[in-house]
Structure 1
């Protein structure tokens, strides 16, 4: 039986949902693996919708008798983002873990993808060092 060395505590470099990683290890609820032995993929399962905000409809109803130009309020648009980003981690030994990070704004969606990209860069760096 081959014993795997215990993870060395170190500063957490990236944290995405329940997944944390430092320069040597990746820790998930499903297990802890050397960072050079995993692959990370992301799946964008968010949706973006555009709506007329409620305040614009109220303004049209209130001012329609005074100005026909109040119909221009209907041109106002509001963008809503919802859903989640799935981060799939697979180790060389066949174990996998999928973290679904909920997303409520475009900035949050970009942040999750930036963190996943940084995690992939850590994996590439660890593989380059290992040779």
Structure 2
């Protein structure tokens, strides 16, 4: 990823994308920030179930007392999928996929909101 010229500092980083006041910097180049369109898609799926260790402990302790059945109340959450952030603009299309998690979708929505705000306030590109 290239660095911003002169005194232009990076204001926001999203995966391998960096935003300055006037540009979006991606691994394959730098593009004007003005006029970019940002999107976020959360494909996270949550799977909840009884972990195998709870089943084993239940089998072991149910022989001693019925309190072993309490191990079946244990729950395990697994997150699958991904969160995708994409940006399009003049000659630009780039996506970043983030791992799933309980806060990934909310974080992605927040940084895309910030990126949209920066894009709306960016000066027009000088040809």
Q: Same fold (TM over 0.5)?
A: yes
Indicate the RMSD between aligned Cα atoms, in angstroms: 2.3
Task: Give the TM-score taking structure 2 as reference length.
Answer: 0.78
TM normalised by structure 1 equals 0.76
| Counterpart in the other structure of 1:40 | 38
Equivalence for 1:52: 50
Say whether residues 1:119 and 2:115 are aligned partners: yes
Residue aligning to 1:84: 82
Question: Given that residues 30 and 96 in structure 1 are in contact (C-alpha distance below 8 angstroms), is that contact kept between their aligned partners in structure 2?
Answer: no
Please say if residues 83 and 104 of structure 2, whose CA atoms lie closer than 8 Å, have aligned partners that are also in contact.
no
1:104, distance to aligned residue in structure 2 (A): 4.0
Give the structure 2 partner of residue 100 of structure 1.
97
Which ranges in structure 1 are unaligned for 5 or more consecutive residues?
1-5
1:59-70 to structure 2, matched below 5 A, reads 59-70=57-68
Q: Judging changes above 3 Å, is the alpha-carbon distance between structure 1 residues 48 and 8 closer, same or farther for their aligned structure 2 residues?
A: farther
* Counterpart for residue 29 of structure 2: 31
C-alpha distance in 2 between matches for 1:56 and 1:75:
8
